Amino acid sequence: MSPNNLDQDPHRLRENREKILEVAIGREVRAFRRQQEITVAELSATTGLSIGMLSKIENGNTSPSLTTLQTLANALSVPLTSFFRRFEETRDAVHTKAGEGVEIDRQGTRANHQYNLLGHIGANASGVIVEPYLITLSDEADVFPAFQHAGIETIYMLEGEINYRHADDVYLLQPGDTLFFDADARHGPEVLVKLPARYLSIISYPQNS
């Protein structure tokens, strides 16, 4: 079997998945133990498991039986399923090819600001929504320094030059410049110095906002 096919070997894939599960369980056991300020020795005395076995479990070096996990769950006063929560979490990724960002309407669309959404991941374990946009300002674009919305925004200038207002301050943004700010304050391009202008706008906010 060639090296390129190793990752496709069902036996190797199963071993990798089992190892990931062992590590995930170990991290949860250690986290619950530390959260309750229980030492390994104390947990050993409570469960009857040796200190060496507990160390192997917490370091992801062994695959504990269901009976062992139930014993640990009882000792730590947590549901058995709580040991698997990190393993079960989905980890999403969005790949957007050049020119394929979805053009959408936002508040600035009325000012001839073109918004292309480059990707979006909804509900996730971090509790944060992140929306990356590519914004293009052409000769037809109007100034609009009055955007306001929840969250934190980061702007990275790619092309052109604009004077960008945030609250009472105005910043000259040129290619390579970054502006990071609280988006709840009034903000937006106030003077279009050199067009066309393009910049990345990355907005993050809590899922419940």
Helix (H, G, I), strand (E, B) or coil at 129: strand
For 174, counting Cβ atoms within 10 Å of its Cβ (0-12 exposed, 13-18 middle, 19+ buried), the class is middle
pLDDT at residue 79 in the model: 86
Element containing residue 137 per DSSP (H, E): strand 128-137
Q: Exposure pattern of 88-106 as b/e (b: 16+ CB <10 Å)?
A: eeeeeeeeeeeeebeeeeb
pLDDT digit of tens for each residue in the chain (209 aa)? 444 444 455 566 566 666 777 888 888 899 999 999 999 999 999 999 999 999 999 998 888 888 898 999 999 998 888 887 766 555 556 656 766 665 655 554 556 677 777 776 655 555 678 888 899 998 888 888 888 888 899 999 999 999 999 999 999 999 999 999 999 999 999 999 999 999 999 998 876 65
* CA nearest neighbour of 106 among 201, 208, 10: 201
Hey, which CATH number is domain 102-206, 2.60.130.10, 2.60.120.10, 3.30.70.870, 3.30.70.3270? 2.60.120.10
* CA distances (Å), origin 140, targets 109, 118, 137, 167: 12, 23, 8, 25
Structure tokens, 30: 């250690």
Average pLDDT, the chain: 81
Element containing residue 117 per DSSP (H, E): strand 113-117
Provide φ and ψ at 114, rounded to 5°.
-85, 125
pLDDT at residue 118 in the model: 76
Domain spans, the chain: 3-88, 102-206
pLDDT at residue 164 in the model: 95
- CATH class of the domain defined by 3-88: mainly alpha
Same fold, 3-88 and 102-206: no
Determine the Cα–Cα distance for residues 133 and 79; give it in Å rounded to an integer: 41
* CA distances (Å), origin 85, targets 15, 24, 82, 112, 124: 20, 8, 5, 45, 13
> In terms of C-beta distances under 8 Å and separation of at least 24 residues, what long-range contacts does 100-104 make, across chains too?
101/133, 101/134
